[in-house]
Amino acid sequence: MVLLKPGNRVKVEVFVKDPPLVFNTSVHLCDDKTIQIAAPSYSGKKIGVAENTRVLVTEVSPEGLLVVDTCVERMTSKHHVLWILPVPGIEGIHRIQNRREPRYEVDLHLPWREVDSRDSGSFSLCHVVNINSLGALLSLDREFDVGEEFLVDLTNLVRVGGEIPEKKVMARSKVARIAGQSGSVVGVTFENLGRKERKGLLDAIRRLKSEVR
């Protein structure tokens, strides 16, 4: 999955002084190894910086912020003046989501399985760290990448709130961010829950509840 979409506008903080210089520019290209951004301009002139200069690249979207902590590996001016930045490890990529609901701290274990699993009765358990009706922070027994999906069985949790579902409440959970050093601790969004399921889930969480994040 591409980290930054070509053509998107981004804010760039350049650490050549304190506080850093701040510019707005655009993403030229991005793959799994490098990010190419248009060299920022000042007074109509393209700016150059030394190799290994630290930069923060921030992309704003309706879902929140994506912040990439990297450096300028080199510059190129073959067709456009570009800064070439290496894609950092997971510790240098930060996703800050806009939350429409508070997340509730919990300590639960719920069944999950692969979306395309042929055995619909084969589940493992995931540890739920925090949750609301829109998503959760989960620890699982395998690693995932951003954009991957799996199913979490919320049926028993919804019942805690007094709602007896007519059928299983299977939340299609899409990985929105990686929270730990590996991909086994993930923040997910619930993609397929209807209004009734979300209300039942929220009622259950509030009944359980400990402390609001």
Q: How many domains does the chain have?
A: 2
Query: What value does the mean pLDDT take over residues 104-112?
Result: 90
pTM above 0.75, yes or no: no
- Is residue 213 included in any domain, yes or no? no
- Is residue 60 included in any domain, yes or no? yes
HEC readout, the chain:
CCCCCCCCEEEEEECCCCCCEEEEEEEEEECCCEEEEECCEECCEECCCCCCCEEEEEEEECCEEEEEEEECCEEECCCCCEEEEECCCHHHEEEEECCCCCCEEEEEEEEEEECCCCCCCCCEEEEEEEECCCEEEEECCCCCCCCCEEEEECHHHHHHCCCCCCCCCEEEEEEEEECCCCCCEEEEEECCCCHHHHHHHHHHHHHHCCCEC
CATH number of domain containing 193: 2.40.10.220
Domain that holds residue 33: 9-97
Confidence category of residue 213, pLDDT binned at 50, 70, 90: very low
Confidence category of residue 211, pLDDT binned at 50, 70, 90: very low
Is the model's pLDDT at 120 over the cut of 70?
A: no
